[in-house]
Chains A and B, each alone.
Chain A
Amino acid sequence: MILNATFLSAFAGAALILLLPERRAPLAKWIALLAALIGLGFAKTAFLIYDNSPAAPHFQFLTRIPWIPRLGISFSTGADGISLVMLLLAGIIAVAGVLFSWNVTHRPRAFFAFYLVIIGGVYGVFQSLDLFLLFVFYEIVIIPKYFLIAAWGSTNREYGAMKLTLYSAVGSALVLLALIATCAASGAHSFDLFTLADPSKSHFAPAFQSWAFPVMFIGFAVLAGLWPLHTWAPTGHVAAPTAVSMLLAGVVMKLGSYSALRVAMTLFPQGLEQWRTVLAVLATAGIVFGALVALAQKDLKFTVGYSSVAHMGFVLLGLMTLNLAGLGGSVLQMFSHGIIGGLLFAVVGRMLYDRTHTRDIAELGTMGLAKALPFAALTFTVASVASMGLPGFSGFIAEFTILKGSWISLPFFLVPAGLGIVITVAFTLRALQRTFYPSGESPAHAHVFDPISFPEKLGALLLMAATLAVGLFPSTLMDPILRSLQSPLMHRLLTEATK
């Protein structure tokens, strides 16, 4: 129940906001903040009371209610270490997103209601143990994204919103097809993840796996920004309002990679074996090309958008290593990039763009931002340093572990991935330096902007604290992740697929 309370609080908050009368509309952000805090509270409590001792069951907080018995569908939720890390991420981003949306005054009720629906759907995906239920939550996220971007976004918003939504819809269509075929092929009359993943209860022929796996994996990976299906991400991120960019980069892309791991890879280890190299190539291409394109951007938000593609490439590469280090690093990278990506978009979209009304790196450089907005400069510097993978921040330990994993099982991919890290450092430093610390003389007349507001500082501190905490004490997250990767559900990945 404690898990279900996360998405229930989000949906209840959304319903409550819709019931607000028009003159009470400014209350919407308070309700949203409250709902997000409650959700984070439940996620954090679940994380803290999760029993990670070796003898404890891997999946805890189980709820199981028959839902549509005729199709073997049940409302089945629960969490292992991987789910809990993702739930925690969703909670942190949800709260930070509301704080960075504190200045939304245009139709605030609709904005925060749609926002909370996304949050609820995300929480739901990370705890579903029934494939139908997981897909329901996964799909709930699609539509609100469209409205949030199309109605509250900026540059080219209607195009960006539609592009993003249609990419998501195509990905979902692939997943739906694979899901229906899976349930027809299993013969288990069940959508329960454990039943389907248990070879004694449902058997998927290798011929079936060899097409069902790529269809399902790619369907999910569209959302994770798999190259070359990633182009929705930069366009959508840039068009979106700040909170939605944060959600997209922070958690929605992780829905794709998490579901790919939890469902596609877990169910079809033999299919995975066949497609592993291809997918590793695509993941590495995402790292390298994402970073190279980011290097060429003039628009600061596009730089961050393409950096998301590069960082998600690491997540996907980690998944393809199929060893403990790589997979664990991949899950940690989902968390780490969620926080860092959210922080970068918060600075670019809220702290800078809302004040300067430009995202052009060269133009921003003329404004003396380091002096005018010192807190923004500090935040962006911390986020950049974390994003480059400097020790002490979460990004370092995650990417380092992924590289370690790929050294063991995918050594040929180490060189391009390492190259990707170098380019990442280059474009991050370039953006940081040109925006905040341009060479040459400081401008004669200093620009004056509204000071960074209290909610912004609070949100930024929350995210900075999260990335620093994980960087300094990675085992807090890594221990439950590593133990969960060896659970009966997941261990086939480490054994069967690498035979």
Chain B
Amino acid sequence: MTNLLLALAPESLLVLAALVVLGLGVSVPKARSLITAATLLGGFAAAAAILLLPVDGNFLHGMVVVDPVARMFKLVILGLGLVAVVFASDSFPEIHFAESLALILFGTVGMMLLTGTEDLLMIFIALELASIPLYILAAFAKEGRSSAEAGLKYFLIGSLSAAFLLYGLSLIYGVTGSTNLPIISNHSGIPDPLLIAGIVLTLAGFAFKVAAVPFQLWAPDVYEGAPTAVASLVASGSKVAGVFILAKILAIGLGPWAGSAGWGQFLPGWVPVLALMAAASVILGNLAALVQSNVKRLLAYSAIAHGGYLLIGLCSTGEDSLTAVLFYVVIYALTTAGAFGTVVIVEKQRGGSSLEDFDGLAKSSPVLALCLLVFLISLAGIPPFVGFFGKFYLFTAALANPALLWLVILAIAMNAVSLYYYLIVLKHAFVLPAKEDLRPANAPASRFLVAALALSVLALGLAPNLLLAPLAKNMPPQISARKVFLQ
């Protein structure tokens, strides 16, 4: 019992912090820095709990599972949540400031819980806990219509997908008689049509979460309309949690029904479904991004494309493919969070996030422009930044199944296309002159954080082992060994 409490200590501390912040919001609503400090303090306490209380184990029959990789991901998600807090503290309006920070913390708790469970019920609850605060936050810029639209759209499509997911999970439970992932995977025999329906519905639910085609329609509107700090959390923390749990469900729970998406050797299962979604996401994301004129919207389409790359990794049965997927989602989240941070500062300075608002950025804020260059070039997969190694590793790992070559060719071709739209943004920042001379916006914390993220993208690019070695060492054996199920 004590161990269970200790295992849940990081999440509990965050909830406590969120409650304190809500209290501060009622008593001293004007004290922005105090509220921000309290939020960050709670975050640091939770981080300390993750680092100092390594209580690994399986509690309540898989409801709460803590292992080294889960702890790594809790730390990453917590970090991304705090990044969003800092961006919010520099950009959110006075009104309901404390509430917004508390909501970010609540959402972060949900995402963290999502990484530490092997039970379908808990997964669904954590998913909802992660999503509902984000629905509210997306609509938080109350004066703008686009924010309200973003919130409503996110909420409606999100609830619909949650319904799909719940339906799918209940079918899986109905057929296999358990909500525990390892027990589900022991259910052998010819797949029941009901089970297939359940798997497809579950995939659809998660495809919404990671914005894979054809469930991507919400993403551009939400990324564009929501306050940028919130968009950064949706693009980073939420994506990490979603991909992590999807990988876990597929690898541990649904391993026996994988099938194959090899060229000319399709076998029914969830892999072909995933492969089609991956191909469609990579194509649509990259092509649609070419014509965007708003940087946040462009980043949304880029997120759809990157979701596609990640799904390619999930299609492979190679020993390293899941490690590669998890590596990639972490570095993608760091990079995209940094890119959104740049947008936060530019928006504060110029009042918008269209391409024209980036004109002459290199002159007015050279460091910020350099950071933007680091993030976008990394997203385009060009060294020496970590995005290159991430893609390289992901595609190499995927080719452990040589029959997946068609997906890798598609991804590499579309990645070459992507360089065009990232360069267009950078052209506005570095080549075109600013129409008016603007003073750099005053957002020291965000600036510092963006620079730190850029440095980490560079450092991980030069030494990917810093993240890769601990991740690969700690991958749970049941995930690495999953290949026994397949094919």
Contacts and interface: CB of A to CB of B under 8 A. Distances in A.
Nearest to B401: A184
Interface residues of A, number: 33
B468 A140 contact: no
A404 to B, nearest CB: 39
Interface in B248-263: none
B382 A139 contact: yes
Contacts of A146: 423
A110 B373 CA distance: 13
B362 A158 contact: no
Contact of A181 (B320, B393, B405, B430): B405
Interface string B390-406: 00110110011010010
A181 B396 CA distance: 8
Interface residues of B, number: 36
Interface in B379-394: 382-384, 388-389, 392-393
A71 B397 CA distance: 10
A135 B389 CA distance: 11
Contacts of B377: 143
Interface stretch (B146-154, B156-164, B266-274, B411-419): B411-419
A385 to B, nearest CB: 38
B395 A70 contact: no
Nearest to A132: B392
B144 to A, nearest CB: 33
Given A110-B362, A173-B413, A180-B396, A147 B402 contact: no
Interface stretch (A163-171, A247-255, A291-299, A351-359): A163-171
Contacts of A136: 383-384, 388
Interface in B416-454: 416, 419-420, 423, 426-427, 430-431
A68 B464 contact: yes
A272 B422 CA distance: 36
Contacts of A151: 430-431
B469 interface: yes
A136 B362 CA distance: 26
B382 A142 contact: yes
A494 interface: no
B419 A165 contact: yes
Contacts of A177: 408-409, 412
A172 interface: yes
B408 A180 contact: yes
A440 interface: no
A110 B399 CA distance: 40
Contacts of B412: 173, 176-177, 180
A12 interface: no
Given A70-B468, A173-B412, A158 B431 contact: yes
A183 interface: yes
A84 interface: no
B419 A169 contact: yes
A70 B320 CA distance: 10
A454 B392 CA distance: 47
A172 B416 contact: yes
Contact of A139 (B388, B408, B464): B388
B399 A184 contact: yes
B427 A150 contact: yes
Contacts of A183: 396
A224 B209 CA distance: 44
B431 A147 contact: yes
A143 B382 contact: yes
A443 interface: no
Contacts of A140: 382-384
Contacts of B408: 177, 180
B411 to A, nearest CB: 10
A169 B430 contact: no
Contacts of B478: none
A54 interface: no
Nearest to B402: A184
Nearest to A166: B420
A62 interface: no
Contact of B416 (A71, A143, A147, A170): A170
A18 B366 CA distance: 10
A316 to B, nearest CB: 23
Contacts of A68: 389, 464-465, 468
Interface in A192-224: none
A162 interface: yes
Contacts of A180: 392, 395-396, 399, 408, 412
B472 interface: yes
A70 B472 contact: yes
A340 B389 CA distance: 37
A142 B422 CA distance: 13
A493 B373 CA distance: 41
A136 B383 CA distance: 6
B249 to A, nearest CB: 25
Nearest to A142: B382
24 contacts: A18-B370, A68-B465, A68-B468, A71-B393, A110-B362, A110-B430, A132-B392, A136-B388, A139-B383, A140-B382, A140-B384, A142-B382, A143-B373, A146-B423, A147-B431, A150-B431, A151-B430, A151-B431, A162-B420, A166-B419, A172-B416, A180-B392, A184-B396, A184-B400
Given A139-B382, A180-B396, 5 more contacts: A68-B389, A71-B396, A135-B383, A170-B416, A173-B415
Among all A-B residue pairs, the 8 with the closest Cβ atoms: A173-B416, A184-B399, A136-B383, A151-B431, A169-B416, A150-B431, A169-B419, A139-B383
